[in-house]
A and B are shown apart, each in its own frame.
Chain A
């Protein structure tokens, strides 16, 4: 019975996919037909000579007033009338005309000129972009929404027939579909195959997650968020995907790249919807995402920034991030941006830049396994930065190293990698140990920034000193190597000592658990690591 149901659903999906693809292709054809075309102006002579000058200065209403009190100009005009101008005088007269014509234009533009506004040739050139139909209402082709709505409706009906418990008559689905369609409608200029790659996937994700037994989980901002998310995903993937049929491109690679980006788009939609509905049953991550509602206005912004980061640097971030990282990064990013008092509505959150910066940093290490650190390091940085966003996440988003926490992470990794490269006897750190160590230090820095961070935001000397002392301690240990847990305890002691809270008896080989009265908060990871 189960197999039979699955097979039927599969057939429904395939049939719907084929129908949808056909309509999407037609929408693509419609968009091409109605596409604007810039028409070039025919060539005409823009050079003027002394004859236009004479007309300008002698025609009433043009430049006659400029000749008053200008005996030389009057003389030139008289000579022009008598056709006795020399070649040099002809040129002079035409240049005087150019100057006065310009002056006259500025005078006549009046207020527009006083406002500092000038006609930009680029903007004027854009005025000659001509649509196929002057008004949208004259275009007989259906809109993308009209093209797709029928098929999507049929898909929904088919799906509902086989999964009736997922659809409620008065549930959130109608609102969700409306928002989804609006997002699609904004994407009418997207080239195929982007539309045909993504729309069915997004639609499937939507229908699987919009029904919930917990009632209406969409909240007042819900439809707007879903609308922004849908149109944003389509926009981001189209911006970064390989252009279809570009000269010299490899079609097989292009299809693969498109598939990867489309998969990320779908995965983002599913992750967000899963977070909204609290359905974490299929969530492979240890950080289940749960938003209380769609009310977080930062949600689409952070989500689309993450997608933008992956799509723009697919070669590195696709593998380095992986599907498990999306939930925790999204949670941490939303909290940080939501609590930041200075972020404007526009512009980057700085999260894409952070991911790329960390990827650069980890690439410097010869052991590729450390590239796995990227998502967890990023998540820790974002999470700690949310403690005091103004201090730890300054709005210089194009330069992620402006964040003290990024600079500190960079310093720890640089020193640790350097130490490993020098083949010392430090513990065999696994990537998870490195994350715990960075988290440990970041927690300290957030709790006591005056000790570890200089007023200009750069790491204090004490930090480098502490890390070096700790690494030296590990190297000097005899006999054998310290376990990662012991190494973390040793780090705790060294940091305590630098902070001025040394314990009376501290042995690197058997470090005792310390208590630091200054600390008010420990990250869960750090607390777990210290037995």
Chain B
């Protein structure tokens, strides 16, 4: 029903005599459209919730990486170690977790009809990728890897470039997070020996093994990604994260940081150089180079250009 003062009363003079029929038809078309779009809208909601949570998570992590001291040092005052998360960061992390859970819940509630619609719209690969990502962030590592296997079996038309890349690197991301969890759990004491260190080296940073280490997997994808775009930046940061967790495990198990001639540290130095080059070439604001300098000065990792191949020379 339209009110007398409503603008609708002035519209469609041509169709005014047909208005009841037109309204019925319009409602029917609207209902059809709603059914068709519900699945897409559910995916969009999940995308929004996930991106929001990821943005907050990245903010916390990068703020800790940049670690800008706020007050003068008071030695021995029981301050947390540099780079520790503050209370606000912990709250934010909790909110992020809720965001990932909301995204996952939204995707779990898809009805068979909506699933069929997403498949028909070639959005099913995007949906499964998002589900795997949310499971990873919620620490459901096994489920995440199972979802990756399911998605990788989809026909090619369902998988689009970013989703394909994410699915390929997700096992690496799981391994990096797994290492971070190991470092942060003081009670865990398994394999605190050279053997244990070697296992972590193989999982995180060794090249050319089967199964691939996290860094090797990321490097392989990076080789295909080309030189532009946010994905390259993301992959470089992930590679540094893999090294950083390995270095932390090295400190725990061997008592020191990896030495300068350790292959993992050498490779990380090259990656850091690549990161700086990428930021400069991609036209990022000069202040973004603080990211490189934070890795360098805080973690004592010197950026080193890769040696040129003989053919290039």
Using a CB–CB cutoff of 8 Å, the interface residues on chain A facing chain B are 6-7, 9-10, 13-14, 17-18, 21, 25, 28-29, 32-33, 35-49, 51-52, 55-56, 59, 61-63, 88, 91-92, 94-99, 101-102, 104-105, 108-109, 111-113, 117-135, 138, 191-193, 196, 244-246, 251, 255, 260, 263-264, 266-267, 270, 282, 284, 318-319, 321-324, 326
Shortest Cβ gap from A209 to chain B (Å): 13
Question: Nearest CB to that of B105 among chain A residues?
Answer: A247
Nearest CB in chain B: distance from A193 CB, A? 6
* Given A117-B285, A125-B56; 14 other pairs, CB 8 A cutoff: A9-B14, A29-B122, A32-B44, A41-B61, A44-B180, A47-B80, A48-B299, A91-B81, A120-B287, A122-B59, A127-B233, A267-B10, A323-B9, A323-B10
In the complex, A266 Cα to B251 Cα: how many Å? 66
Instruction: Using CB atoms and an 8 Å cutoff, list the residues of chain B in contact with chain A.
Output: 3-11, 13-15, 17-18, 22, 25-26, 29-30, 32-34, 36-38, 40-45, 47, 50-59, 61-69, 73, 75-76, 79-85, 96, 121-123, 126, 130, 133, 137, 160-163, 166, 173, 176-177, 180-181, 183-184, 226, 228-231, 233-234, 237-238, 240-242, 244-245, 248, 251, 256-257, 260, 284-291, 293-294, 296-300, 302
Report whether A38 and B55 are in contact in the complex, using a CB–CB cutoff of 8 Å.
yes
Residue of chain A at shortest CB distance from B176: A42
Give the contacting residue for B177; candidates A43, A97, A113, A267; CB below 8 A: A43
Q: Give bound CA distance, A1 to B224, whole Å.
A: 66
Given contacts A32-B40, A47-B81, A134-B229, contact A18 B177 (CB under 8 A): no
Name which of B6, B85, B180 has the most chain A CB atoms within 10 A of its CB: B6
The listed residue (A29, A38, A99, A108) touching B40 by CB distance below 8 A is: A29
Q: Kindly state the separation between the CA atoms of A132 and B43 in the bound complex, as whole angstroms.
A: 15
Q: Assess whether A45 is in contact with B180, with CB atoms less than 8 Å apart.
A: yes
Cβ 8 A contact of B123, one of A33, A321, A326: A33
Q: Min CB distance, B22 to chain A, in Å?
A: 7
- What residues of chain B lie closer than 8 Å to A135, measured between beta carbons? 228-229
Query: Are A51 and B162 touching (Cβ within 8 A)?
Result: no
CB-CB nearest in chain B for A118: B287
18 A–B contacts, CB within 8 A, in A order: A6-B17, A25-B37, A29-B40, A38-B50, A38-B58, A44-B61, A44-B242, A49-B251, A56-B300, A59-B300, A62-B296, A98-B69, A99-B73, A121-B59, A127-B284, A245-B42, A260-B6, A322-B6
CB distance from A78 to the nearest CB of B (A): 17
Residue of B10, B32, B55, B96 with highest tally of chain A CB at under 10 A: B10
Cα distance, A193 to B33, chains bound together (Å):
7
State A97–B248 Cα separation when bound (angstroms): 17
Complex contact B287–A324 (CB within 8 A): no
| CA–CA, A35 and B29, complex, Å | 26
Question: When A282-B10, A318-B6 are in contact, do A63 and B297 touch as well, CB less than 8 Å?
Answer: yes
Which residue of chain B has its CB nearest to the CB of A95?
B73
Question: Which DSSP category, helix, strand, loop or mixed, fits chain A's interface?
Answer: helix
Given contacts A124-B291, A125-B58, contact A42 B173 (CB under 8 A): yes
Q: Whose C-beta in chain A lies nearest to the C-beta of B68?
A: A102
Partner of B297, one of A37, A101, A260, A284: A101
Is B287 touching A117 in the complex (CB atoms < 8 A)?
yes
Closest to A53 in B: B300
Instruction: Report how far A319 CA is from B230 CA in the complex, Å.
Output: 48
Tell me the number of A-to-B contacts counted with CB atoms below 8 Å: 317
Q: How far is the CB of B218 from chain A (nearest CB, A)?
A: 10
CB of B42 within 8 A of CB of A44, answer no
Q: How far is the CB of A106 from chain B (nearest CB, A)?
A: 9
Minimum CB–CB distance for A265 against chain B, Å: 9
* Cβ B51 vs Cβ A92 within 8 A: no
Tell me, in angstroms, the Cα distance from A97 to B300 when the chains sit together.
Answer: 10
Contact B162 A131 (CB under 8 A): yes
How far apart sit A85 and B175, CA to CA, in the bound complex (Å)? 34
Residue of A61, A96, A124 with most partner-chain B CB within 10 A = A124
Q: A42–B177 contact, CB under 8 A? A: yes
Partner of B230, one of A117, A131, A245: A131
Bound-state CA distance A270–B290 (Å) is 52
A88 vs chain B, min Cβ distance (A)? 4
Taking a contact as CB atoms under 8 Å apart, the answer to whether A95 and B257 are in contact is: no
Q: Which residue of B lies closest to A101 (CB)?
A: B297
- CA of A507 to CA of B137 in the docked complex: distance in angstroms? 84
Q: State how many angstroms separate the Cβ of A350 from the closest Cβ of chain B.
A: 23
Q: A36 to chain B: which residues have CB within 8 Å?
A: 51
* Complex alpha-carbon distance, A97 and B297, angstroms: 9
**In the complex, which residue of chain A has the Cβ closest to the Cβ of B44?**
A32
Q: How far is the CA of A511 from the CA of B67 in the complex (A)?
A: 79
The one of A48, A126, A266 that contacts B83, using a Cβ cutoff of 8 Å: A48
- Chain B residues, CB < 8 A from A120: 287
Are A39 and B166 in touch, CB under 8 angstroms?
Answer: yes
